[in-house]
Each structure stands twice: as structure tokens, then as C-alpha cells.
Chains A and B, each alone.
Chain A
Amino acid sequence: MNKLFFASIGFFALLFSSCERDADVDLPETKPKLVLIGFITPQDSFVTVSLKRSKPIFQAYDVNTNDAVTDATVTVFGNNTSVVLPFDATLQVYRISTSQFQILGGNEYRVTVSTPQGESAEATTVVPQNSIDASYALTLTDTFTNLGPGYFWLNTTVQYQFTDNAQETNRYRFYIGLVLVDTLTFDTSIARMTSEFFNDNNGNGQLLSRNVELYWGNFDTNLNDSAYAYDCWVFNVNSDYDNYHKSLYNYSGGEDPFAEPTIIYSNVDGGLGVFAAANGRKIRVIR
């Protein structure tokens, strides 16, 4: 009986002691790719493009994925012309003022990039024809609760409505940024609060009404004092913008061996990232 018992224990130890080793498979040969990211809207003051590189996981390349590619030629084509975007060393992006190169609803824009190392990539996107009209309105309330030392709570409720653009299937994004003012320098910054994507559900030309409720759990007194306003945007977004952001929101990496990973959308030929467009309207609500 003792023998049987120890044999059983031995077998179970063998059974559940899984074996780990290097995978014996041919891995795809991967090189660093250009990561191009640009969002263009007629409401922006600049046309901005970020350019970085990806770092292969299984091959050794000396790449820092946070570093901008500084020596590329970035050209934007559209409005029957083209413009080369200069590199802004402070912000580490390529950009040009929209006073020099306008972004117009309904137009197609193409961006090409090339580097002295021979890398190149390009992407094309079309700006939605219609923006959000003046029917866009909202009511916003927020409640700041001090629950005790180090425990604060900001509860913001927004009810908004706007008229859907008729005769087309639309994808929309609602976005709230909290405008913070430095009480000493009066510089402003924007803290991202929430964002939601939705489509018009074939409600052509109808008034769309939606509610958003959001919480900021560790919202402390200092932030509450500096929170000056809410910037509330509704964008009519194109499919590149919509697909990319949804994949980003749903992103789950390869940590869970049983879960399906999410592939980040890209419309960049020869690289990664996205060149996408939106056309929107903002309402600023002062607190």
C-alpha cells in the first residue's frame, strides 16, 4: 500500500510539473518599423505628425520606442498641393500651422515619410465632410466630495445632444478634457477624462441624445482648485480614426496565453500607426 501511495504521488508530481523550454519554432524575421501617428481636424491649429520606431521583440536592435525620428522628411499632400512638415525639437513632432496648410472637410490627405536610412511609409485619410452643427448642446454637473484625508471623489454627469448628419452613416466620438490652470503661472493643461465612440445607428438626421457619468477617484483638493473648465468635444470621425481608437481601447497584450490579443489598427503602408481624421465641435463649460 505504501508503494502504491508513493507511486501515485510521484506520478502526480510528474503530471503537474509542467516543462518550460525555448520554443523550437522559426520566428518571423522582424525589423524596426516606422511608427507614424497623425490626427488631423479642421479645428486644429496645427497639422501634427509623430514619427518613432518599433522595436522587434525577438531580434536585437538598438531602438528606444519613445525616441522620435528626428531626421525624416515628412510631407503632407492635399488641397492640390503638398507641404513638408518641419521637425519641432521641443515637442519632438513634425508639425505646421494650419494657417500654412489648411485641413478641409471632405478632402483626402496623404502623408509620406522617408528617412536617410532608406525607410519609408505612407498613409492616406479622408476628413469627414461634415462637422457637428450648432444644435450641439449639453448640461454638465459635477460634485466634488471630500471623504477624508487622502480620499476624494469627483463625480461628473453630462447630458449632451446634437443633430446627426443626414444621408450618411456616421461614427462619432465624444471626448471630455478637464482644463487645469496653474494658479501661479496661469498656464493651462488638459487632463484626459473620458471618451466614448458610437455610431448613428441609422438615425439619419435625428437628434441624438446621450448621457455620460464619470468618476475620478483620487481627485484631490489641489486638482479641484485648479480645475477650471471642461472641454467637451463631439467629433464626426472617419473609419481610420474609429478603428484605431477602438482597437486601442480594447487592447490586451499577449500576457494571457488563453485570451485572444487585440491587434492595433493601422492604415500605414510600410509602417505602423495611423493617419486619421475627424471633424468636430467643442463646448467649453466653465466650472
Chain B
Amino acid sequence: MFKKRLFFLLCLFAFPAFSQTAKYTISGFVYEQSSHESLPGVVVANTRTGAGTTTNNYGFYSITLPADSVEMLWTFVGYKPVRKKIMLNQNMQINIDLEGFEQKEVVIEGDQQEKISDNTQMSQVSIPIEQIKQIPALLGEKDVLKVIQLMPGVQKGSEGSSGFYVRGGGADQNLIILDDATVYNAYHLFGFFSLFNGDALKSVELTKGGFPARYGGRLSSVLEMQMKDGNQEKFSGEAGIGLISSRLTLEGPLKKKKSSFLVSGRRTYIDALVYPFLPQENKFGYYFYDLNAKVNYTFNDRNRLFLSGYFGKDKFYAKFNSGQTYEDEAGIDWGNATATLRFNHLWNDRLFSNTSFIFTNYTLGIGYAQKSSTDFFSLRYTSGIRDFSLKHDFDFSPNPNHYVKFGFMTTYHRFNPSAVVVKSSYGPDNLNDVNTLESFENGIYIEDDWRINSVFKANFGFRLSHFNTEGKNYMRPEPRAALRYMVREDMSIKASYAMMNQYLHLLSNTGIGLPTDLWVPATKRIGPQQSQQVALGVAKDLTEQKLMISVEGYYKWSKDVLGYKDGASFFLIGDNGPGSEDINWEDNVTAGQAWSYGAEFLVQRKFGKFTGWVGYTLSWTQLQFDSINFGKKYYAKYDRRHDISVVGIYKINDHITLSATWVFGTGNAITLPLAEYTAAEHTPGSSTGQQTNIPNFYWLFVQDFGEKNSFRMAAYHRMDVGLQFHKKKKYWDRTFELGFYNLYNRKNPFFYYIGEDASGQNRKLKQISLFPIIPSVSWTVKF
């Protein structure tokens, strides 16, 4: 029976090749004209039949069509479409250069627009980098993750934070990848800024559900970012000065159309400005920097090599010199480093492969040192995670109706939950307590984008994931399916199902993305998290209005998600931190279930003088843990009933761009103390026998919180505006930006606490707000 099925499946791919007229393949790469930068996500379509494909992450496409006279169309948001008539009577390689719109409005015909209704993939958003750069931001620091937070189904955490929560999932359930490398802590400045420098990025894509089989390892989302390859045509660059940081990007050819490089750096400088004004005996400061670099070399039309890397660090430091006797130093620093070596190989017109060797490292260090002329003492706590991965992916286009992707990935994880090194002149206190955990994570996958007929298209996939830890093996199948039905030429109904497993857990005391959050692997006792998600949606293109509309409903059920037991705290787990032998972190967490469901509405306009989107999310997220809230279900902190975001970018003319965002979200669900009372512990024995004069109670003063997370903080809303002035100079383009964060000075609550009124007699609920209206200016040149 099995053999028959296998035979049938093989025929499914092979049969069209033999049964129909001769077919030929058009393949090639699509580049940006001015820089010869490869473009991912370009739609390549036969205008007559509608058969089409998109370029992969490396700009490669392959489409096999019956021999005929065909008209092919290459389209991509922000670029002039290219249309070519081809007499298809042999396999041909056609490389295309797309020309950017720049500031001018270009008339686009209906069939040249990107169509949301045509794509099988649902629950996915891509945001053009240029659009990200035009959206106003806190202190003028353009932030990819904060723009992602403006999409429906994505919720921000606390005020100003770059952390995000997708469809009710935790912040740890988002897979953030930069050039194939996982980024474990994506935040600078304690979460207020993300570490992704928009100047170095080529594409940003977020998948919230209906995950293709090539993705795995997280439950809630995949945020995939590609770095630019570097301008192959000419030396160019971009520099910017903002209020808290400056940045510089340089790129250019090393050998024209063969090899290019890109280097992009950013650093804050408030520490350097403040340092001279601090008293000599007390010095403190904070800075972060990051550096992106990439080089590539094209050997020939079939082989290309890329080497890219990211290195970033945050550091807060303080030095105190107390009375000339002792000098104290304390500090916290954290940083990511990634490196990716990729090799593209075109086996033939239909088969493309990429092999990646990936390294990623995240470290956190907390240090304290005291020294005098005679003695010294130093303590350093470090934790981190380091990965080495091998990834091999194939893109195969066997016939017009199938586009198959398959491959594997294997990762060696090395966790360092805690390492404490103490050095002291006092003698026997020296300590070098380092503990590490190792594990292997593997996955193989296959997926097929199958054009069943003119109205049905499907993407079926299967991923088999495996995790080896502490001698235990977890093997989990992960079926994936997505279906699209074209109701009309411009409207489709989509459905998807995805099962996901997550083998890494993030221990977080606050849930706000602090660098002290700690990644740990699934263990013998604490198994992997698993989710299943179904989604159903309608996508509609209004071509005349250049609008894309989508409405999606989803239901996600997760099991074995982790929560802290009541009263447990990261900072209380052992003297040496989690993983120490004092108290194992596994004793302080509990596995439970999560349910998340809702509907998302998005109207988006990606091109034209006026672009932007309106997003609305209606959602519910509930959690249940046996050891939390006495096993009863409760709403998650970031359960958000209503979430609205409005983004508008208007090019007034070639010189001025006006942009604005407005966001609204239901307040976070929190647990608020309502009353105080005297509780008692049972202290037995006191009323037995002869001790009759002592009640058997040990009194304790406590608070009554009502139901867990039953109180809602005030709704969050805010408006930001930005005004960009562009000017073309002889050798460069200059942009000056004036922005206002929180334009109408809304006092959004960051957290609540119980204070007193002016009389000091009555208690009041007080709120702390972080950011009032904050103006910003920045200046950017592009050359």
C-alpha cells in the first residue's frame, strides 16, 4: 500500500512532464538596477495564465512553462515593473534589473501590482525598508521591531519596549533571524531599541501563522531579516546623526558585478558627552554600538558566496572612589554576535541550493570589583548561549504547478546558564563555578507550493524536528498546510494549519525583555512547548485604489508552555543563578496550556503618494497552569481585546514627506491588590494537651488580589508624527527629519503602585508614565 502511494506521489511530480507538450524553464536572478543588489520576494508571472512564482531570499526564480509565446512580468513594491515577451522554445536564463521609483509617482497597471489575494501564504506581512525609514520613531531612532508592533496580531509589551507578542504567544516564542542566524536578545537599552539597523537591511518579513515547513523552533512567529549584499555598481553610503546615536553605512564593489561589501555601524554617545561633567570620584555611563558587515563574491552564474556578520554590545558602567581608600566598579554588559557563511549553487535551471554555516552567540555579564592599594576583590557573573549550525536548503521547480523546497538544519547549542568567577586577595574565597548544558536541535523539511488548478493553490509541508538533551531525544512531526481558493480574480479565501515545537525556553522574571532573561533548553523533566494553529481568512485586492485588504481569524492552542510558579523568581533561584545546584530552575517553573484566538483586519497601501495601513485586532489569550492560580484559567498579561494601529505616509512633493502613526490598545491585564487582611498559618500543637492558652495561629499580614489578572490598566494610545525634508545635492541626497513622539502627551501607564493622597491618610493608585511628548531631530545623507 505504501509503495503504491509513493509511486502515486512521484507520478504527481513527474507526470506533467511526460503527458503534456514540451516545457521549458525560465530562471534567473532579479536585481535592483542601481546597486545590482539581489531582490527577494519579486513576483514573476505569466500574464496570460497567471502562473507565477517569487524570487527566493537570494533573488533567484525559476518557472517552468509550456512551450509557447509568453509574456512575463516581474513586479516588486517600490520598483517599476518589467514586462517581456518571450518565445519560449528552450530553457533560458533571464536576469532582470528593476528600477526603483525614487520620489516620483509611477502609474502602475492593474496586473502589475503585488496581489495579496494571489499568494497561498497567509498571516504574513512584509514591510519595505524604505517605509520603515519614513515612520516616526522614539528619539528619531528608526526601529524595525517597533514598526512590526504596528501590524495586526502583533502587540507591544510595555511602553517604549521593542519586545513583541504575536497572537497571544510569549516574547520568547518569536524566532528572530538575521541572515539565517538566530538572534537571542534583539534589544538595546534594556528593550527600548532593537538592535537591527535599518540601513543595513534589505528585507523584513514576519510570519504569524500558517508557517511553511522550512521554519521551525518557535511557536508564535518568524521574523526573518536579510542584510543588504552591498552595492555592486558603485561606492555609496549613508550617514545619520540623531539625538542619541549616529550611524554610518558604506558599501561598494570590490570587483564590479563580482564582489561587493557592506559595513554599517551605529553608536550612542551620551556617555561620552556627559563623562567630562561627572565628578572625578563618581563616573557612570551607558552606551551601545552595533556593527553589520557583509561581503559576497560571484564566481559565475551558478555559484555565489556570502559572508555576513553582526556584532553589537550594550554596556552600563559605574565607578566610585570612596575616600581615597577603595575604588569600586560595577557594570552590566550584554551583546550578540552572529556570523553566516552562505554558498549559493545553481545545480540546473530548476534546482537551486544554499548552504549556510551559522554561528551565533549571546552573552550577559554582571561584574563588581573593589580594590585598594593592598587588597582586591572581583566577582563576575556571566550567562549566555552559543550556537553552531549547518543549514542546507533546496528550491526545486519541477513543473509549472509545483515549487518544492526541502532541506535540513542542525544546530549545536551550548548554554551557559551561569558562571561565577570570584577573585580575591583575601585568599580562599576564589571561585570558578562554571556550568554548561549542551544540546542538539535538528530539523528536516519538505514543502510544496502546489498550483492545483486556476483557483486552488496549496502549500503542503512536513517538518520532522528532533532535539537531544541530557541523553533524552525528542522527535516531533510537524505537519503544515495552507490552501488558497480564488473566489474572483481579486479575491481569495485562505486557510492554514501549522503544528510547531519549541525546544528552548526563556526564563524571564519580568517579561519585558531585559538582558538578564535566560535561555535554557528542554530537559528530561521540562519538555518542549508545542502549539497548533488554524487560521481562516479572506484576501481582497482593490487594484484601482491600490489597496490590499485581509481579514483573518485564528485559533491557537499551546501546551507545555512555561510559567513561573507562584512566588518563584529568577533572582531567588540559587545563589549562583538558575542552573546552580542550590535550587534548580526546573523546580521553579511549571508547564501549562495557552489558548489564543481572535480576528485581524488589515488594509494596506504599499505604493503611491499616500501609503500606510490600518490594522485592527480583536483577541483573547488565556493561560492555565496547575501550579499557578490554583489551576484556574486566567487572562495573560498581554491579552488585548482591542488593538488598533493606523500608519500614514504622505509624500507631499519630492522634497517633503509627512508621516504619522496612531496606536490604541486595551490595557494590560494585571493583578491589583484590593484589600488587606490578617491571614494565619496553622501552627499545630498549641491547642492540644496542656497548651490550651495559645491559639494555633501564626498571623501574617497579606493582601487580597481578587482574581488573577482581573484588573485592566488604562488603555494605551499615542500619536507620533514625522516630517522629512529631502534635498538633492550634487553628490548626495540629504534628509532632515523633525519628529514628535507622543504628540498629544498622553500619560500612558508604565506600571501602577499604591501611594497616598496629599493628606497621607488615604491610599491611591498611582501610575508611572515613561515618555511625555518627545521631539526629535535627525539628519541623514545618502551618497
Q: How far is the CB of B151 from chain A (nearest CB, A)?
A: 26
Interface pair B772/A19, CB less than 8 Å apart: yes
**Stretch in contact with the other chain, from A54-62, A119-127, A152-160, A217-225:** A54-62
Interface residue ranges of A5-42 to B (CB < 8 Å):
5, 7-9, 11-12, 14-15, 18-25, 27-28, 30, 32-33, 35, 37, 39, 41
Interface pair B683/A19, CB less than 8 Å apart: no
Q: Check B629 for interface membership: any CB of A closer than 8 A.
A: yes
Q: How far is the CB of A186 from chain B (nearest CB, A)?
A: 10
Known: A23-B752, A58-B764. A45 touches B688 (CB 8 A): yes
Tell me which residues across on chain A come within 8 A of B681, comparing CB atoms: 192, 195, 245, 248
Q: Check A227 for interface membership: any CB of B closer than 8 A.
A: no
**Stretch in contact with the other chain, from B220-228, B428-436, B559-567:** B559-567
Interface pair B674/A65, CB less than 8 Å apart: no
* Docked complex Cα distance between A252 and B702 (Å): 9
Q: Check A258 for interface membership: any CB of B closer than 8 A.
A: yes
Known: A5-B273, A11-B774, A254-B672. A37 touches B680 (CB 8 A): yes
Known: A5-B273, A19-B769, A251-B567. A263 touches B764 (CB 8 A): no
Interface residue ranges of B475-522 to A (CB < 8 Å):
509-512
B interface footprint on A43-66 (CB within 8 Å = 1, 0 otherwise): 111101010111111101000011
Q: Check A243 for interface membership: any CB of B closer than 8 A.
A: yes
* Docked complex Cα distance between A14 and B767 (Å): 17
* Docked complex Cα distance between A109 and B692 (Å): 23
Interface pair B685/A250, CB less than 8 Å apart: no
Q: Check B10 for interface membership: any CB of A closer than 8 A.
A: no
**Stretch in contact with the other chain, from B178-186, B229-237, B340-348, B706-714:** B706-714
Tell me which residues across on chain A come within 8 A of B706, comparing CB atoms: 28, 263
Tell me which residues across on chain B come within 8 A of A41, comparing CB atoms: 684
* Docked complex Cα distance between A25 and B671 (Å): 14
Interface pair B567/A250, CB less than 8 Å apart: yes
Interface pair A57/B763, CB less than 8 Å apart: yes
Q: How far is the CB of A264 from chain B (nearest CB, A)?
A: 5
Interface pair B566/A262, CB less than 8 Å apart: yes
Which of A14, A41, A253, A263 has the largest count of B CB atoms less than 10 A from its CB? A263
**Stretch in contact with the other chain, from A79-87, A136-144, A204-212, A272-280:** A272-280
Q: Check A241 for interface membership: any CB of B closer than 8 A.
A: yes
* Docked complex Cα distance between A264 and B567 (Å): 11
Interface pair A261/B671, CB less than 8 Å apart: yes
* Docked complex Cα distance between A37 and B678 (Å): 10
Interface pair B767/A58, CB less than 8 Å apart: no
Tell me which residues across on chain B come within 8 A of A90, comparing CB atoms: 693
Interface pair B698/A192, CB less than 8 Å apart: yes
Tell me which residues across on chain A come within 8 A of B747, comparing CB atoms: 19, 21, 24
Interface pair B674/A28, CB less than 8 Å apart: yes
Q: Check B568 for interface membership: any CB of A closer than 8 A.
A: yes
Interface pair B754/A57, CB less than 8 Å apart: yes
Tell me which residues across on chain B come within 8 A of A228, comparing CB atoms: none
Q: Check A184 for interface membership: any CB of B closer than 8 A.
A: no
Contact of B701 among A24, A56, A65, A278 (CB under 8 A): A65
Q: Check B569 for interface membership: any CB of A closer than 8 A.
A: yes
Tell me which residues across on chain A come within 8 A of B675, comparing CB atoms: 30, 32-33, 54-57, 272
Tell me which residues across on chain B come within 8 A of A246, comparing CB atoms: 566
Interface pair B687/A48, CB less than 8 Å apart: yes
Tell me which residues across on chain A come within 8 A of B698, comparing CB atoms: 192
Q: How far is the CB of A48 from chain B (nearest CB, A)?
A: 6
Nearest-neighbor residue (CB-CB) of B683 within chain A: A192
Q: How far is the CB of A144 from chain B (nearest CB, A)?
A: 22
Interface pair A50/B695, CB less than 8 Å apart: yes
A interface footprint on B266-307 (CB within 8 Å = 1, 0 otherwise): 000010011000000000000000000000000000000000
Interface size on A (CB < 8 Å)? 84
A interface footprint on B654-688 (CB within 8 Å = 1, 0 otherwise): 00000000000001000111111111111111111
Q: Check A286 for interface membership: any CB of B closer than 8 A.
A: no
Interface pair A250/B568, CB less than 8 Å apart: yes
Contact of A52 among B677, B693, B766 (CB under 8 A): B677
Q: Check A78 for interface membership: any CB of B closer than 8 A.
A: no
* Docked complex Cα distance between A51 and B764 (Å): 27
Tell me which residues across on chain B come within 8 A of A199, comparing CB atoms: none
Contact of A22 among B568, B678, B766, B770 (CB under 8 A): B766
Which of A15, A24, A187, A190 has the largest count of B CB atoms less than 10 A from its CB? A15
Interface pair A18/B243, CB less than 8 Å apart: no
* Docked complex Cα distance between A85 and B330 (Å): 61
Interface pair A190/B685, CB less than 8 Å apart: yes
Q: Check B697 for interface membership: any CB of A closer than 8 A.
A: yes
Which of B677, B750, B754 has the largest count of A CB atoms less than 10 A from its CB? B677
Q: Check A177 for interface membership: any CB of B closer than 8 A.
A: yes
Q: Check A215 for interface membership: any CB of B closer than 8 A.
A: no
* Docked complex Cα distance between A41 and B704 (Å): 27
Q: Check B373 for interface membership: any CB of A closer than 8 A.
A: no
Q: Check A231 for interface membership: any CB of B closer than 8 A.
A: yes
Q: How far is the CB of A77 from chain B (nearest CB, A)?
A: 21
Known: A44-B687, A261-B703, A264-B679. A15 touches B673 (CB 8 A): no
Tell me which residues across on chain A come within 8 A of B712, comparing CB atoms: 25
Known: A5-B273, A192-B683, A259-B509. A23 touches B567 (CB 8 A): no
Q: Check B94 for interface membership: any CB of A closer than 8 A.
A: no
Nearest-neighbor residue (CB-CB) of A11 within chain B: B243
Q: Check A162 for interface membership: any CB of B closer than 8 A.
A: no
Known: A261-B705, A278-B682. A20 touches B768 (CB 8 A): yes
Tell me which residues across on chain A come within 8 A of B685, comparing CB atoms: 177, 190, 231, 233, 282
Interface pair B679/A273, CB less than 8 Å apart: yes
Interface pair A250/B566, CB less than 8 Å apart: yes
* Docked complex Cα distance between A263 and B683 (Å): 21
Tell me which residues across on chain A come within 8 A of B686, comparing CB atoms: 177, 190
Interface pair A25/B630, CB less than 8 Å apart: no
Q: How far is the CB of A225 from chain B (nearest CB, A)?
A: 20
Interface pair A177/B770, CB less than 8 Å apart: no
Contact of A272 among B512, B688, B697, B704 (CB under 8 A): B704
Interface residue ranges of B418-435 to A (CB < 8 Å):
none
Q: How far is the CB of B749 from chain A (nearest CB, A)?
A: 6
Q: Check A169 for interface membership: any CB of B closer than 8 A.
A: no
Known: A18-B770, A44-B687. A189 touches B694 (CB 8 A): yes
Nearest-neighbor residue (CB-CB) of B243 within chain A: A11
Q: Check A257 for interface membership: any CB of B closer than 8 A.
A: yes
Contact of B713 among A25, A177, A188 (CB under 8 A): A25
Q: Check A91 for interface membership: any CB of B closer than 8 A.
A: yes
Q: Check B700 for interface membership: any CB of A closer than 8 A.
A: yes
* Docked complex Cα distance between A222 and B703 (Å): 36
Tell me which residues across on chain A come within 8 A of B765, comparing CB atoms: 22-23, 25, 27, 58
* Docked complex Cα distance between A14 and B566 (Å): 37
19 further A-B pairs in the complex, CB-CB below 8 A; given A190-B694, A261-B673 = A8-B244, A18-B769, A23-B714, A25-B713, A28-B711, A30-B675, A33-B675, A39-B684, A48-B696, A54-B675, A57-B674, A190-B691, A235-B684, A254-B705, A257-B752, A257-B768, A258-B509, A263-B707, A264-B702
Q: List 20 A-B contacts (CB under 8 A).
A: A15-B139, A18-B770, A19-B769, A19-B770, A25-B667, A44-B687, A44-B696, A46-B692, A50-B697, A56-B674, A192-B681, A233-B685, A247-B566, A252-B567, A254-B671, A258-B512, A261-B705, A263-B566, A263-B705, A263-B708
Binding site for A on B (CB under 8 A): 139, 243-244, 270, 273-274, 509-512, 564-569, 629-630, 667, 671-708, 711-714, 747, 749-755, 762-772, 774, 776
* 8 tightest A-B CB contacts, nearest first: A250-B567, A54-B677, A257-B751, A258-B510, A39-B682, A54-B675, A23-B765, A23-B767
